[in-house]
Amino acid sequence: MSKLKVQIIKWGIVFLPLIIIVFILKVFLPGFSREVRTSQFGDSKSFQTEHFYTLTKEIPESPRQVATLCEDFYSAFIREHQSQISFKNLENRIEVFFFGNRKEFDNFYKSQYSRSIPHNAAFYSPVQQRIVLYWNNNTRETLYHELTHMILDINVDFHLPEYSVWFNEGLAMYFEKYQVVNGSLIPGELDNEAVLFVRQAFKNHMFVPLTELCSATAVDFRSRKNTIYYYESYLFVYFLKHVKGADTFLQYFKEEGKPGECSPYALWDILQKPSIEIEKEFLRYYKIN
Ligand SMILES: [Zn+2]
């Protein structure tokens, strides 16, 4: 046997098991890690579509219905916005964990993050690419809300966008009111409950000035007083889109989508007015003061 052949056999003996191990890991590890992750959910029903893997536990909807809701919203959203924003394909299926009640949802959150979110009904985890919620009579709205976070987070073709919390939440609240009819997104009406709530908050001196809202953190949106933050963010997004116009809105959306944190001045620069003037317009539009 030539020296070369001996060398090849020698290296083959060393590397072949390694190649086999790598191959096995590549084929079985994703499935295995999914098994580990989904076992955290406990006994459940599951269903898989092109982009979603849903697990449900004692809720009126079947996992298939939940997955279909997600799939329909996702594809309608992409179709509707792809002329303005470039989207990339999802690399992995998004997991949707749908618990039957608040208690199980709480327990799950605590097991994952060692703290609780008593004032929120659902969340999206960008790290695990997973939506977690519990059944509260608003399946469609809650799902659309979290799906908006998901699309903003992973599907927009910018690198590491860091949306301002108010903008991210405002958009999610804005799109949760949409409906999907025959594959098209149908906008929701202005939510009067939000307007009434903010009017009342203004009277009670609980209104959050818009500059403060724009620099609010995730902690504000998890707090006991988070409703005013959510409603104001929603109304501000609605105001930008419907009063300031789609082009201005898109310009700001792209600014927010750029890498890193958005400058607190970007919005007022785009609107070409100082924040105090915009706030006056905002209050007038909703007849708040
Ligand atoms: Zn949200």
Mean pLDDT of 172-191: 95
Mean pLDDT of 108-121: 90
CA 145–ligand 1 middle distance (angstroms):
6
Closest alpha carbon to 205 in 228, 173, 222, 186 = 228
- Report residues near ion ligand 1: CB below 5 Å: 169, 172
35 against 68, higher pLDDT: 68
Which CATH class name applies to 43-157? alpha beta
> Residue 28 has what pLDDT?
60
Closest alpha carbon to 168 in 119, 110, 123, 116 = 123
Closest alpha carbon to 57 in 38, 69, 41 = 41
Pairing of strands 161-162, 260-261: parallel
CA 204–ligand 1 middle distance (angstroms):
25
35 against 262, higher pLDDT: 262
Encoded amino acid at 250, one letter:
L
Q: In this structure, what is the dihedral angle of CA atoms 85, 89, 92, 96, given to the nearest 10 degrees?
A: 50
d(CA 164, CA 256): 7
Task: Please check the confidence at residue 211 and state whether its pLDDT lies above 90.
Answer: yes
Confidence of residue 232 (pLDDT cuts 50, 70, 90): very high
Domain segments of the chain as ranges:
1-29, 43-157, 163-289
CA 278–ligand 1 middle distance (angstroms):
24
The pTM for the full model equals 0.84
> Residue 243 has what pLDDT?
96
**Most confident by average pLDDT, 19-23, 111-115, 170-174, 253-257:** 170-174
Task: Supply 72's token pair.
Answer: 């329909």
> Residue 270 has what pLDDT?
96
d(CA 204, CA 144): 31
> Residue 26 has what pLDDT?
60
Task: Please check the confidence at residue 40 and state whether its pLDDT lies above 60.
Answer: yes
Q: In this structure, what is the dihedral angle of CA atoms 158, 161, 166, 171, given to the nearest 10 degrees?
A: 30
Task: Please check the confidence at residue 281 and state whether its pLDDT lies above 70.
Answer: yes
226 against 264, higher pLDDT: 226
| 66 contacts 139 by C-beta, under 8 angstroms | yes
Q: 181 exposed, middle or buried (CB, 10 Å; 0-12, 13-18, 19+)?
A: exposed
> Residue 222 has what pLDDT?
92
CA 5–ligand 1 middle distance (angstroms):
63
CA 222–ligand 1 middle distance (angstroms):
10
> Residue 89 has what pLDDT?
81
| 271 contacts 280 by C-beta, under 8 angstroms | no
Phi/psi-derived region of residue 160, left when phi > 0, alpha when psi is between -120 and 50, beta in every other case? left
Closest alpha carbon to 229 in 169, 139, 163, 161 = 169
Confidence of residue 214 (pLDDT cuts 50, 70, 90): very high
121 against 71, higher pLDDT: 71
> Residue 161 has what pLDDT?
61
CA 31–ligand 1 middle distance (angstroms):
29
Q: 154 exposed, middle or buried (CB, 10 Å; 0-12, 13-18, 19+)?
A: middle
Mean pLDDT of 267-283: 96
What element of type H or E holds 94? strand 94-99
The strand pairing partners of 220, in sequence order, are none
Task: Specify the range with the lowest mean pLDDT, choosing from 62-71, 81-90, 108-117.
Answer: 81-90
